[in-house]
Amino acid sequence: MSVVAKPRTTPRPDRVAVKTALLSVSDKAGLLDFAKGLAASGVKILSTGGTAKTLREAGLDVTDVSDHTGFPEIMDGRVKTLHPKIHGGLLARRDDADHLSAMTTQGIEGIDLLVVNLYPFRETVAKGGDYDNCVENIDIGGPAMLRAAAKNHDFVTVVTSPDDYADVLKEIAEGGTTLALRRRLAARTYATTASYDSAISAWFSGQLGETFPKTLSVSATLVDTLRYGENPHQQAAVYSDGSGRAGVVTAKQLQGKELSYNNLNDTDAAFELVSEFDSPAVAIIKHANPCGVALGSDMISAYHAALACDPVSAFGGIIALNRTLDGPTAAEIVKIFSEVIIAPEISAEARTILADKKNVRVLETGGLPNFADARMTLKTISGGWLLQTADNGHITEAELQVVTDRAPTEQELKDLLFAFRVCKHVKSNAIVYAKGGKTVGIGAGQMSRIDSSRIAAWKAKEAGTEIQNSVVASDAFFPFPDGLLAAADAGATAVIQPGGSIKDKDVIAAANDRGLAMVLTGMRHFRH
């Protein structure tokens, strides 16, 4: 049953003076300057535990919450602010005669400002805390107070982040906080408590081994609003999931224009691709599809090989490296226009070279993501979401099934595994030709697999790459022999594909007829 609000008999106040504040924070950043500002404005300060100790050691006059309530902290501090004198002081409407009467009768003093940030639950989990330690770092009193103060924002100002200290102090000094500020902070507070509970929920699901919990709770923090989305008439923003995974969201931008929605999407695709490889690797991406990918003995050789696959499409693309970008490689990269360059590190020499291309966005991630991480991907559909585990599958040589009369040679085998790993990052239907640790032709996003085979071969011919005696990878099975025959006509000598078609026997027979070696992976890599 819903609770019906009492009719309001007075208008909402705009300015509300702050006479009493309760401060209880785990993040002490900016705390002393803020508390000194409150004291200078004549605000009485209530506090708890470590916060009170910090303030008192700085010479500030502080009243312990236990003295304010007349009730001691008990149960190792689990119960200290869960008291009517705290919650009554936060929840009482100052324009309600019954509320004011109850405050007088019960000796409850109004609390006009609440400053709380919560126990470091996420940090405890991130540091590998054991089960009991994580549970102990679930804050109870903090969220209860925050929700109470935010509900009563007509009269109470609530702060959850040091980022808001300056605005609050400024308005207090001007006579009181404004309704606009109190509402903004209240909204932020509910987002904070929701995010906190989301993190706890996700942790519990992990502890219970639940990949797909009954209720999905998603939490993210705004990183930046973007100029527009995929197209200029769309609005967009980028959020952080708080995982700290090395990549485009956590990267430091060293130079260049503001990153766009498409820049971020393409750069993420490029960096995730090169992170798959242990050897030096370079990927050039356009519209989330690879133009070229290559391994090399060093970054400059890998870059040249990647560029050779499709130098026309590479213009204005995204370049990702999985090693430090050095000066010689940077000098080659700047010979064509690129939108974004991303690498774990950028050497001082490379930074100097890139500085001459002021519009090129340069990102340094500080490391590579662990591709084996258990991650989830989330996509919106009408009326809901699609959630799945990330495609972290890596096929090894031991898992391959040779199904043709001829087995692949050692070099073909290396190239097949390389091509299939690249294929995972190409939009379906996907075909990748490779030779000598580099792509030589890529066909992406076609409605039929044979068209992808033909397009990849055509692009190889246009680029002048050597497709003869290459290998070919398909992200899914060949439904008919025609796609495989198109690859054979282009010059492929070995094939890697998942298998599983009702026409597998016909495809294998066609491969044998052409003298191809073919291996099956049993793993598909659709990417939409």
Each residue of 311-358: pLDDT tens digit?
999 999 999 999 999 999 999 999 999 999 999 999 999 999 999 999
Pairing label, strands 317-321, 221-225:
unpaired
398-432 confidence digits (pLDDT tens): 999 999 999 999 999 999 999 999 999 999 999 99
- Looking at the structure, tell me whether residues 304 and 441 fall in a common domain: no
**Co-location of 76 and 169 in the same domain:** yes
Same-domain pairing of 418 and 490: yes
Q: Please give the structure tokens belonging to residue 518.
A: 């073919």
- Confirm whether 335 is domain-assigned: yes
Would you state the pLDDT for residue 2? 67
Residue 291 in domain: yes
Answer whether 0.75 is exceeded by the pTM. yes
Task: Tell me the average pLDDT of the chain.
Answer: 92
CA distance 304 to 302: 6
Distance between CA atoms of residues 192 and 185, nearest Å: 10
What are the distances in angstroms from CA 38 to CA 20, 60, 167, 214? Answer: 9, 10, 12, 45
Please report whether residue 243 resides in a domain: no
Q: In the listed set 144, 175, 207, which residue is the last one of a domain according to the structure?
A: 207
As given in the structure block, the two tokens for residue 65 are: 């919450």
Q: How many domains does the chain have?
A: 3
| Per-residue CA distances from 422 to 67, 216, 268, 459, 478 (Å) | 65, 32, 15, 17, 18
- Is the predicted pLDDT of residue 45 greater than 90, yes or no? yes
DSSP 8-class letter at 407: P
Instruction: Answer whether residue 239 shows pLDDT above 80.
Output: yes
- Is 304 inside a domain boundary? yes
Q: Domain with 310 in it: what CATH number?
A: 3.40.140.20
515: left (phi over 0), alpha (psi -120 to 50) or beta: left
Query: Which residue in 280, 295, 291 sits closest to 417, CA to CA?
Result: 295
Whether 234 is in a domain gets the answer no
CA 121, CA 135: separation in Å to the nearest integer? 8
Which pLDDT tens digit goes with each residue over 83-95? 888 889 999 988 8
381 Cβ neighbours under 8 A, 6+ residues apart: none
Q: Which of 42-51, 178-187, 478-487 has the highest average model confidence (pLDDT)?
A: 178-187
Are both 173 and 316 inside the same structural domain?
no
**Residue 257, in any domain of the structure:** yes
Residue 141 and residue 103 share a domain:
yes
Task: Write down the pLDDT at residue 106.
Answer: 87
* pLDDT score at 294: 97
By annotation, the residues acting in catalysis are: 151, 287
Kindly state whether residues 276 and 403 are assigned to the same domain.
no
Q: Is residue 516 part of a domain?
A: yes
Would 72 be classed as within a structural domain? yes
Residue 291: pLDDT band (50, 70, 90) is very high
Residues 355 and 399 grouped into a single domain: no
The residue segments making up the domain with residue 457 are: 394-520
Query: How many CB atoms sit inside 10 A of residue 222's CB?
Result: 10
Is 182 in the same domain as 275? no
Mean pLDDT of 472-483: 93
Confidence at residue 66, expressed as pLDDT on a 0 to 100 scale:
82
CATH number at residue 56: 3.40.50.1380
Domain boundary residue among 179, 207, 235?
207
> In degrees rounded to 5, what are phi and psi of residue 152?
-95, 35
pLDDT higher than 90, residue 187: yes
